[in-house]
Structure 1
Amino acid sequence: MSIYSKRNVWCAIVLYFALVQVVIGETKYCLKEVDYCFTITLPQANETLVNFRLEAPSTAGWLGVGVGPGMDGYLMVVWITSEGKTLLSQRVGEEGVQPMATDQQADLNLTNSTIVGDKLIIEFTRPLKVKTNTIKNKQTFAYAYATINPESDDIVNVYLPRHDYRGNVKLDLEHGDSELQYDKLIIAHASLMSSVWFVLIPGAIFIARFARNLLPTTWFKLHVAIQLFLSTPIVLAGSVLSFVAAEGLKFDDPHRIIGFVLFLGFFIQLAIGAIHHHLYDPKRNGIPWWTKLHWWFGRSLVVLAAFQVPFGLKLFGVTDMVYYYIYYIYLFVILIAFSFLSFRLWNRRPDNEFKRMEDS
């Protein structure tokens, strides 16, 4: 065989494996907290079956993989009974309701179930497209891990104990990409928006309401600078990140609906503030309606934003209550500080009315 023939053979081999890699597109994701991993492999050419491989501690109760965001859609569940029987169930769930078995359990085919050391390995297949669900090349998958075993061999009527861990991950099956781009975008979005709505904007409100006598010549400049030069670019950046992560504007969840309302409300509040500043008269005898609107519309936006974090944590699949407790404690501290400082303003007025400090 000539050197050119050998080179052509090696080129053909490399090209073949490159094509196979593109077609198969194996992708793996692991939940580090409990060492639970699932691998999804697209079918080869002229085939229609998607391969799933689940790896978890042998002490796992039940394992779940869902096609789509959240555990309230299409779900595949596997568990092993005390007799060592491996059961695989296809289910469809709704928010807050036990997922029910579909009428097409034959869509799933168990191909392997073994325990190697302390590791449980489950392998099964399902078609790319089933009655209620289709797997796409770029797809959000949900996952769940439970420590309590259902202890039942009835795949239709079994009751699934509550999961201990759950979440969402967006995977690119075609290119084998599991770099968690979705998670990174959402975490960045949450960090930016939290800094705006629970640090910068409350800080600007506190300065405008309580710091007029303390900073008689700079409180207004600080209030405006925080909103224009810090809050505004961060709100825009955080909104773009969520738009990219969700692949468009969606209104299928309370968090996304409230987020859109807050986005519009933020810029409406800036416009109301500009009107208030333009029409401000230092010799006024009363408080005009546009000024009161600026006060209360801003406070309303912050109150509405307070509901965003629990909804966002739930949408992202966070089940660890520590994050919720930390957030509620922080809200409590902000509320106590606002109430205490407001009481001081009221107590310092001779007529005991809730009013701001005198304009300087």
Structure 2
Amino acid sequence: MIGAMSKLSAVIMACLLLLLSASANAQSTDQASLFADTSCNSNVCLRAVYSPSERRMNMTMSANGGGAPMGWYAVGTGSRMDGSNMMIGWVDTTGKVVMSQRTASGHSNPSTSITALAATMEPAHSFSNSSGTVWAWSFPMSGSETAPSASTPFIWAVNKQNNPDSSTSASIRRHTAYGSMTLDLTKPYTSSSSSSTGSNTGTNTPVTPATNGGNTEDQNRSHRVLNRNNRLIIAHMVMMIVAWFILVPAAILIGRYGRTFFTWFPAHRGIQIAAFVFVLIGMVLIIVEVGSGTHFDSTHAKAGLAIFIIMFVQMLLGAVGHKTKRFNVSRIVHVVIGLGVTVAAIWNATAGLHLWDWGVPRWASWILWIWAALLFVAYLAGLALLPRDLREWREKSANTRGEKQEYLGLQNNASPGASTHQHSPGEQPTSPTAWANPPLQQAPSRAYQSYAHQPHAPSGGI
């Protein structure tokens, strides 16, 4: 009896070991078929685990601070708000995390009327306390959605001053910071990598967003993929920098110094036309990059459109004003608008650098501002020639008026026939002026010519 019981126990133990081994192998196989990546900035961290077999992305968003209202945080799929599948999270007054799935038709207030598949919230892995806040959920992928790639784009936004109520449909105010990030969801998932997320460790330890003192090079590495969008952005940036930091300032300085030293207008006009072509190409490139999304939905984009329109009007004003006299009001307006739109374009170009998620270093904008300062000093130096230009213009205007008055005076004193002025015996006759033919150089009348050609009878002698 005891021997039979021992054999039965051995069989049961062997079965249990076999089941545990199979379970471990299955778990290992499942983990091997998962892909994951994490991206952080100074506001929020996002981690995504993609399961190809389930066609599902398990998402974890985390931020510093918690246990009380701390504003709202959001991430969404894609590279822009239009059509993005978003998750917006916040903490209510009781310290409970709230998650709301929303979408938007452009750069507008997201709506809870979604067209994507409903997300599955993970309240067991979501929390908020003094160590941080974590929101966990999963997005099912529809059959029409493409599989994640090595540069899967996401957008993020925050407003740390706006605290919605506990309703998932609560209204939110406009974000105070936003941007985009890219995850490499072809990287294999490992259990060690999951320890950085609060949803997988079970220790309620959130991912700590990177601070400004962190290694931003590592944070931006996943963003620096030379894909089609980044190529278009780089081309747009090059076109605008060449136009507003080289061509337009060169045309302005030629106009300022050329008025004193050389013939300036042909070069000024040619360079400005070239600058306009560069700006036009830059506009087309960024419109193509945005694609079917909402255009001109940011301050940078709206300012760029306004600058482009003013530049076109400015060129027309310059063509018309050049036909007027020097220091005409239209010319002065042309100069003032030209300087103003150039300063605005330089500011807008440097501001645009910080919108690019490539992670442009700060010294890049410093170089642009230093170059702009040097151009400003060069223009101020050219203004020192303005009194000389004004004096020469007045002298030329006075000479022109004197010549005109002299011309009119000679014309009024001249008689239609021969001169009646009597010269003294010792007086030399003055040479005729260039304004009118002298009387002796006038052609004989037709009556005299006809009389001279008629035959005449010889006169009789006495």
Same fold (TM over 0.5): yes
Please name the residue that 1:89 is paired with.
100
- Helix, strand or coil for the counterpart of 1:42? strand
Q: 1:253 aligns with which of 286, 295, 311?
A: 295
How many residues of Structure 1 are paired with residues of Structure 2 in the alignment? Answer: 286
For residues 20-39 of structure 1, the aligned pairs below 5 Å read 24-31=34-41, 33-34=42-43, 36-39=44-47
Q: 1:162 aligns with which of 174, 188, 203?
A: 174
The residue identity in structure 1 corresponding to 2:134 is I
Please name the residue that 1:110 is paired with.
121
What is the TM-score with the length of structure 2 in the denominator?
0.46
Contact kept in structure 2, 1:81 and 1:149, CA below 8 Å = no
Q: Which runs of 5+ in 2 are unaligned?
A: 1-24, 189-220, 316-322, 325-333, 358-364, 398-462
1:124, CA displacement in angstroms? 0.8
Please name the residue that 1:43 is paired with.
51
What is the TM-score with the length of structure 1 in the denominator?
0.56
The residue identity in structure 2 corresponding to 1:153 is S
Structure 1 residues 192 and 147: CA distance shift in structure 2, 3 A: same
Please name the residue that 1:281 is paired with.
none
Please name the residue that 2:241 is paired with.
195
Structure 1 residues 188 and 126: CA distance shift in structure 2, 3 A: same
The residue identity in structure 1 corresponding to 2:295 is D
The residue identity in structure 1 corresponding to 2:174 is R
Structure 1 residues 87 and 317: CA distance shift in structure 2, 3 A: farther
Structure 1 residues 251 and 56: CA distance shift in structure 2, 3 A: closer
1:88, CA displacement in angstroms? 1.3
For residues 11-22 of structure 1, the aligned pairs below 5 Å read none
Please name the residue that 1:206 is paired with.
252
1:267-324, Cα deviation, whole Å (9 max, x unpaired): xx9xxxxxxxxxxxxxxxx89xxxxxxxx9xx99x95995693898499489xxxx9x
Bigger strand fraction: 1
Q: Which has the larger radius of gyration?
A: 2
- Helix, strand or coil for the counterpart of 1:70? coil
1:210, CA displacement in angstroms? 1.7
Structure 1 residues 186 and 164: CA distance shift in structure 2, 3 A: farther
Structure 1 residues 113 and 225: CA distance shift in structure 2, 3 A: same
Structure 2 residue 233 is the aligned partner of structure 1 residue 178: no
Contact kept in structure 2, 1:188 and 1:238, CA below 8 Å = no
Please name the residue that 2:361 is paired with.
none
Distance 1:305 1:171 in 2: 37
Structure 1 residues 178 and 219: CA distance shift in structure 2, 3 A: same
Q: Which runs of 5+ in 1 are unaligned?
A: 1-12, 270-285, 288-295, 354-360
Contact kept in structure 2, 1:70 and 1:315, CA below 8 Å = no
- Helix, strand or coil for the counterpart of 2:79? coil
Structure 1 residues 347 and 250: CA distance shift in structure 2, 3 A: farther
- Helix, strand or coil for the counterpart of 1:69? coil
The residue identity in structure 1 corresponding to 2:61 is L
1:187, CA displacement in angstroms? 7.4
1:193, CA displacement in angstroms? 3.9
- Helix, strand or coil for the counterpart of 1:63? strand
Contact kept in structure 2, 1:148 and 1:161, CA below 8 Å = no
**Aligned-residue RMSD, C-alpha:** 5.7
- Helix, strand or coil for the counterpart of 1:98? coil
- Helix, strand or coil for the counterpart of 2:104? strand
1:26, CA displacement in angstroms? 1.4
Structure 1 residues 152 and 39: CA distance shift in structure 2, 3 A: same
For residues 1-360 of structure 1, the aligned pairs below 5 Å read 24-31=34-41, 33-34=42-43, 36-45=44-53, 47-59=54-66, 60-74=70-84, 75-95=86-106, 97-102=108-113, 107-111=118-122, 112-115=125-128, 117-129=130-142, 136-137=148-149, 138-156=151-169, 158-175=170-187, 178-181=222-225, 188=234, 192-212=238-258, 216=262, 246=289, 253-254=295-296, 255=301, 309=348, 313=352, 316=355, 344=386, 347-348=390-391, 349-350=393-394
- Helix, strand or coil for the counterpart of 2:103? strand
1:159, CA displacement in angstroms? 1.3
- Helix, strand or coil for the counterpart of 2:45? strand
Moved more, 74-83 or 343-352: 343-352
Distance 1:208 1:49 in 2: 61
Distance 2:72 2:345 in 1: 32
Structure 1 residues 55 and 68: CA distance shift in structure 2, 3 A: same
Distance 2:137 2:182 in 1: 21
